[in-house]
């Protein structure tokens, strides 16, 4: 049988762990960890602790070692985990940001998630996440956008020509094509 390293508590640590073990407002994990360490300090082995707390022996061993290494702060939070490795390379993310801010797609005034996804070769949802994390909103523009209409120049001249030379007995009014609201 493996003998676990002994746990020795000072009065302050014992008082805190006893409060944690009786707490009804702390997370269950923290309460359970406090009970494990208190039992270890009472001289119980990991097998006995696992049976009393209804956990695996490995878990009892882990929290004993964590307390011996880090003290009370080691019981409060789980160890950091690395998480899933990103599938989109940083170079691709940089390319999406660069294209969004410095280029315009053909036959459009701004990038959509679909056109950007097709241009860069990633999913539409990934483009949306990249834009959101970088605060990019290409559909919202504070500048004038030139139309894609092939007859735009002729229509513009006709409309603008009305201001200096209006028809007789006519009123020329101008209205923006859409209302702009600030939130």
Give the pTM. Answer: 0.50
Q: Which two tokens stand for residue 41?
A: 């300090």
SS3 call for 128: helix
Q: Domain check: are 117 and 69 in the same one?
A: no
The verdict on 71 and 97 lying in the same domain is: no
Same domain, 105 and 70: no
Residue 161 confidence (pLDDT): 80
Average pLDDT value over all residues in the chain:
87
Structural domain boundaries enclosing 123: 90-134
Selected residue with higher pLDDT from 156 and 35: 35
Q: Is residue 53 part of a domain?
A: yes
Tens of pLDDT along 9-45?
999 999 999 999 999 999 999 999 999 999 999 999 9
Contact 105, 111 (CB under 8 A): yes
Find where tokens 């939130």 sit: 183
61 and 15 together in one domain: yes
Shared-domain flag, residues 20 and 53: yes
Question: Looking at residue 72, what DSSP letter applies?
Answer: T
* Domain-embedded: residue 56: yes
58-94 pLDDT, tens digit each? 999 999 999 999 999 999 988 888 888 888 999 999 9
pLDDT at 85: 87
166 occurs within a structural domain: no
Say how many domains are in the chain. Answer: 2
């Amino acid at each position: 049988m493996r003998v676990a390293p002994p746990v020795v508590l000072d009065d302050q640590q014992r008082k805190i762990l006893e409060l944690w073990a009786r707490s009804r407002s702390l997370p269950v994990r923290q309460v359970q960890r406090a009970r494990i360490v208190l039992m270890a300090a009472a001289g119980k082995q990991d097998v006995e602790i696992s049976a009393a707390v209804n956990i695996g022996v490995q878990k009892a061993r882990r929290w004993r070692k964590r307390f011996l290494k880090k003290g009370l702060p080691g019981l409060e939070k789980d160890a950091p985990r690395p998480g899933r490795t990103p599938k989109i390379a940083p170079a691709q993310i940089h390319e999406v940001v660069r294209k969004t801010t410095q280029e315009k797609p053909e036959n459009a005034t701004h990038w959509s998630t679909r056109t950007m996804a097709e241009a860069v070769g990633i999913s539409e949802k990934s483009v949306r996440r990249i834009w959101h994390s970088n605060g990019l909103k290409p559909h919202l523009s504070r500048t004038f956008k030139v139309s894609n209409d092939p007859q735009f120049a002729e229509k513009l001249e006709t409309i603008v020509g009305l201001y200096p030379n209006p028809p007789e007995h006519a009123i020329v009014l101008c209205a923006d094509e859409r209302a702009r609201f600030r939130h």
